[in-house]
Structure 1
Amino acid sequence: MSLFAEYVISALLLLGGAFTLVGALGLARLPDFYTRLHGPTKATTVGVGAIMLSSIIYFSILDGTFHISEILITVFLVLTAPVSANMLAKAAMHLRVKTMEGTEGSPWEQ
């Protein structure tokens, strides 16, 4: 494996880990349900995507063959994360989950 490939793989792993950490911190630290929903659906999706891309590069170079399983996992994640976030937000709005005071765009400020 070339030194350049190792640097690219390492950079993608660090980038993915950083985005995943930011997403996890957002889930733990943001004040209400609606703002917490953005952590795992936005930052973590990018983080896992970068980690999966590094896995694709690593195993393609190591084996000399292309594996489709990592691409399928990434596509599944990118397609399902926004849909599940939308469904969770709609269910929370239906149940009238309270927002934090002063949240912009609060559905109950009519």
Structure 2
Amino acid sequence: MRPTDEQEICNIIKNLKSKPSSGYDYISTNHLKQLSPLIAHPLSILYNRCITQGYFPHELKTAKVIPIHKKDNTRVLNNYRPIALLPSLSKILEKLIAKRILLFVTNKTF
């Protein structure tokens, strides 16, 4: 897989949905969008290491699960559904890897 660069990371961050919610790391996509020019270079180093070593950090797989009320009585547990909030940094790495897998599967050069 080809390495990533700062521009690709900035583009991915720019295309993430703007949300104030965050995972256990308390970093929202809104924060990432504001900080992307400052953090793109260190993230490119981190993500390139993940790609070359074939390693997806366990910390990026950890989700914060919160209950969302669906309907009726708020005292009944079955009236809630779980929402898993993943760290925003994991979404960037997932998109980098997904792009490379798609290019490989479709036999496009990258």
**Which of the five TM-score ranges fits, normalised by the shorter chain?**
under 0.3
> Larger radius of gyration, structure 1 or 2?
1
TM-score by length of 2: 0.28
Comparing both chains, which one has the higher relative contact order based on Cα–Cα distances under 8 Å and sequence gaps of 6 or more? 2
* TM-score, structure 1 normalization: 0.28
* Bigger helix share: 1
